[in-house]
C-alpha cells in the first residue's frame, strides 16, 4: 500500500501527526521531554497563560473519581512575560508547532493583549482561546453564565476581536457545560476561528462523607478522564457534522482505540489530556497506534479516517 499520510492542516498550521495534548495536562512540555521524543507530536499545547501571573486555587486541587478526576487548579501560571522568556525558548528548540493556550478572567481586552503579544512571537504557531475553564469566572458572559463558552454571542464577540489583531491560527476551546454546543461552535466559526477544540472539563463535585467536605478546595471542579469520553465523542460528532472548520477532539483519551473514536466521529486531530498523567509517554503510543490502525485498515489519510464511521448495522 502507498504511503500513509498522517499530516493534518489546522488553519495555517501543519501537524505532522493528528495528535496534540490538552492544555494544562502537559505543563510546558519540558516535563515530558525525558519520556519520549516530542517531535512525534503534531503540536504541543501549553498550559493556559494569562496576562498577569496567577496563583491558582487553594489546595487540595485534584481528587480521583470513578474512571476520572476532578481538578480546581484555577489556571496557576507565571504570566505571559515569564512564559515568553522562560518557557518558550525550550519549546522553540523542538521544531514542533506550539499552540499557546490563553485565558482571561476579566474582559476581552486581556485576550486581545495576549493575542497581540503572541502575534509577534515566531515560535507560537497557534493561539488557543481557553474560554471554557470552569475554575475561573468571567465578567463578560451574560448573567446566569460564568463562561464565555456558555454564550454564543460572547464567544462570537471575543473570537472576532482576537481575529482582528492576529493572523495566527486561532483555536477556540469549547465547554461541554452547555445545552447546545453546536451553536457555540458555529459562533466561533462565523467569527473567524480556524478550528474548535472540545471538550474542556465537565463541572463536577465530590464530597467526602467522613469529613463532610468537598474533596477539592474550590468545592466545584472540572471532571476529566475516561468518565467523560462518551459525552466528548458525542459532542465532537455533532459539531463535526455542522461546522466546516477542523475539530480537535479530546476528553478521556487513554489509548489508541479511544483516540480513534474521536477521529471516526469527525475530529481532524485529537488531544491527550488526563491520559498524560496515567502514562507520560501515552501520546507517543497513540501516535504509533493510529499509524498502525491506518495501515491495517487501509486509510491513506486522516481525512479518509474522519469519514470512516459506519452507520448501517
Catalytic residue numbers read 133
**Continuous H helices in the chain:** 80-82, 88-92, 108-119, 152-163, 181-190, 229-242, 256-264, 275-278, 282-296, 302-306
Cβ-based nearer residue to another protein, 222 or 249: 222
- Who's near 143: CB < 8 A, 6+ residues apart? none
CA distance 253 to 260: 9
Whichever of 78 and 300 has its CB closer to another protein, that residue is 78
Q: Which helix (H) or strand (E) holds 173?
A: strand 169-173
Among 60, 192, 300, 308, binds another protein (CB under 8 A): 60
| Selected binder of another protein within 62, 146, 206, 301 (CB under 8 A) | 62
Q: 60 vs 308, which CB is nearer to another protein? A: 60
Query: Is residue 34 within the footprint of another protein (CB under 8 A)?
Result: yes
Phi, psi of 53 (to 5 degrees): -60, 145
* 56 vs 52: CA distance, rounded Å: 12
Find the binder of another protein among 203, 281, 301, 303 (CB under 8 A): 281
- For another protein, which residue of 8, 32, 101, 168 counts as binding (CB under 8 A)? 32
What is the Cβ-side half-sphere exposure of residue 93, based on CA atoms within 13 angstroms? 9
> Which CB atom, from 47 or from 173, has the smaller least distance to another protein?
47
Instruction: Out of 7, 12, 39, 64, name the contact with another protein by CB under 8 A.
Output: 64
| Contact status: 255 vs another protein (CB under 8 A) | no
Secondary structure (3-state) at 53: coil
* H helices, E strands: number in the chain: 10, 16
- Taking the least distance from each CB to another protein, the nearer of 252 and 266 is 252
Q: How far is the CB of 165 from another protein (least distance, A)?
A: 29
CA angle 194, 197, 200 (to 5 degrees): 150
Angle at 56 between CA 54 and CA 62, to 5 degrees: 155
Interacting residue with another protein among 51, 69, 99, 253 (CB under 8 A): 69
Nearest to 215 by CA among 69, 11, 107: 69
Restricting to residues 10-29, which ones interact with another protein according to CB under 8 A? 24-27
Q: Segment near another protein (CB under 8 A), from 66-74, 139-147, 288-296, 302-310?
A: 66-74
50 binds another protein, rule: CB under 8 A: no
**Candidate list 38, 49, 51, 61; residue touching another protein; CB under 8 A:** 61
Residues 189-248 that bind another protein (CB under 8 A): 225-226
Report in angstroms how near the CB of residue 141 gets to another protein at its nearest: 24
Q: Of the two residues 177 and 274, which places its CB atom closer to another protein in the complex?
A: 274
Indicate whether 278 belongs to the interface with another protein (CB under 8 A): yes
Copy the grid coordinates of residue 106.
476579566
**How far, CA to CA in Å, does 134 sit from each of 172, 178, 272?**
15, 12, 19
238-267 burial, b at 16+ Cβ within 10 Å, e below that, comes to: bbbeebebbbbbbbbbbbbebbbbbbbbbb
Taking CB under 8 A as the rule, does residue 251 contact another protein? Answer: no
Kindly tell me which of 63 and 159 has the beta carbon lying closer to another protein. 63
Give contact residues for another protein (rule: CB under 8 A): 24-27, 31-32, 34-35, 47, 55-56, 59-64, 66-69, 71, 73, 76, 225-226, 254, 274, 276-281
Amino acid at each position: 500500500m502507498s504511503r500513509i499520510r498522517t499530516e493534518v492542516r489546522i488553519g495555517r498550521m501543519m501537524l505532522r501527526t493528528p495528535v496534540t495534548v490538552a492544555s494544562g495536562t502537559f505543563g510546558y512540555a519540558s516535563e515530558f521531554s525525558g519520556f519520549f521524543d516530542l517531535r512525534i507530536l503534531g503540536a504541543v499545547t501549553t498550559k493556559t497563560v494569562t496576562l498577569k501571573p496567577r496563583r491558582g486555587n487553594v489546595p487540595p486541587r485534584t481528587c480521583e473519581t470513578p474512571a476520572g478526576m476532578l481538578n480546581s487548579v484555577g489556571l496557576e501560571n507565571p504570566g505571559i512575560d515569564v512564559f515568553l522568556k522562560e518557557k518558550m525558548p525550550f519549546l522553540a528548540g523542538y521544531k514542533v508547532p506550539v499552540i499557546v493556550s490563553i485565558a482571561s478572567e476579566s474582559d476581552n481586552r486581556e485576550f486581545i493583549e495576549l493575542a497581540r503579544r503572541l502575534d509577534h512571537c515566531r515560535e507560537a504557531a497557534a493561539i488557543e482561546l481557553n474560554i471554557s475553564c470552569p475554575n475561573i469566572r468571567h465578567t463578560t458572559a451574560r448573567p446566569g453564565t460564568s463562561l464565555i463558552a456558555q454564550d454564543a454571542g460572547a464567544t462570537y464577540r471575543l473570537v472576532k476581536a482576537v481575529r482582528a489583531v492576529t493572523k495566527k491560527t486561532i483555536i477556540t476551546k469549547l465547554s461541554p457545560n452547555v445545552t447546545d454546543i453546536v451553536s457555540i461552535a458555529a459562533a466561533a466559526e462565523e467569527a473567524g476561528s480556524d478550528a474548535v477544540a472540545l471538550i474542556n472539563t465537565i463541572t463536577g463535585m465530590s464530597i467526602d462523607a467522613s469529613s463532610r467536605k468537598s474533596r477539592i478546595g474550590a468545592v466545584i471542579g472540572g471532571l476529566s478522564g475516561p468518565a467523560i469520553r462518551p459525552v466528548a465523542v458525542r459532542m465532537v460528532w455533532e459539531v463535526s457534522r455542522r461546522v466546516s472548520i477542523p475539530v480537535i477532539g479530546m476528553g478521556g483519551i487513554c489509548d489508541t482505540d479511544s483516540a480513534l473514536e474521536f477521529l471516526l466521529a469527525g475530529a481532524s486531530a485529537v488531544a491527550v489530556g488526563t491520559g498524560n498523567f496515567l502514562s507520560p509517554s501515552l501520546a507517543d503510543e497513540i501516535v504509533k497506534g493510529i499509524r498502525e490502525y491506518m495501515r491495517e485498515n487501509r486509510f491513506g489519510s486522516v481525512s479518509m479516517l474522519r469519514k470512516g464511521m459506519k452507520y448501517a448495522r
